[in-house]
Homo-oligomer: A and B are copies of this chain.
Amino acid sequence: MNYKNHVTRLSQYKSVLQRLVKSGIEKTYAESISKHIGIPATQIRKDFSLFGIRGNKRGGYNVLELLEELKVNLGLNRDLPFILIGYGNLGKALARYHGFHEGCVRIIAAFDPKVGVLSSIPPIPVYPPASISAFLKDNPVKHAVLAVPDDVAQSMVDELYAEGIRGFINFSAIALNIPEDAYVNNVDLELELETVVYYTKEAENKEDKEVKKLV
């Protein structure tokens, strides 16, 4: 199966652990985490091993401790403000999402030219893009979510990089050029829908083949 990569998996583990904490569970096991997310227990242990996370022989893992170690390894054990560029369809959805507040990630402000003046009506304040520079001088943010139209994405990255942003989540479909010391995560939602079509077709074909075999 496709478990993506070790960092993604670490984040998935963290997500499960957060839910365990919420339900008041104190101890867990590789095997039971596996049941939650469908990643083999041995893979989970291997990942932990890789990151130097250790449990108790025969005793599994203390939920709170494990969660803390996962956070440390992911760099999520600190305040993590994000800014949001583009308060359109997708930007609004992200801004209004309350799940983030339970995690470590917080969107603290959005920027969109549609807003003439600064406004604090939505869950987060929305400012005109011209004020990004000033905002970042007061708020040491390192991460930005780009939910702007494809054709302005690159120029926004350039500007944001110049202002000190080093981590980007890019929802536009175009590839962005950035310096070595920054990181972009491209999230292409259209692609996410399309690949499902492929794999669904695959499943169909497999069935066909099996049917053929039986004949």
Q: Which residues of A are in contact with B by a Cβ distance under 8 Å?
A: 2, 5, 7-8, 10-12, 14-15, 36-38, 73-76, 80, 82, 89-90, 92-94, 96-97, 99-100, 103-105, 142-143, 145, 166-169, 173-175, 180-185, 187-204, 206-207
A21 CB, min distance to chain B CBs, angstroms: 14
Are A201 and B99 in touch, CB under 8 angstroms? no
Considering the complex, give the chain B residue whose CB is closest to the CB of A182. Answer: B203
A43 CB, min distance to chain B CBs, angstroms: 14
Q: Which residues of B contact A12 (CB under 8 A)?
A: 188, 191
Number of copies: 2
Are B194 and A105 in touch, CB under 8 angstroms? yes
Are B74 and A191 in touch, CB under 8 angstroms? no
Which residue of B8, B76, B183, B197 contacts A167 across the interface (Cβ within 8 Å)? B197
Complex Cα distance, B183 from A6, in Å, reads 22
Complex Cα distance, B2 from A97, in Å, reads 28
Pick the 3 closest A-B CB pairs, nearest first.
A167-B200, A75-B201, A93-B93
Are B185 and A8 in touch, CB under 8 angstroms? no
Complex Cα distance, B202 from A183, in Å, reads 9
Are B5 and A200 in touch, CB under 8 angstroms? no
Say whether, besides A168-B196, A197-B74, A188 and B15 are in contact (CB < 8 Å): yes
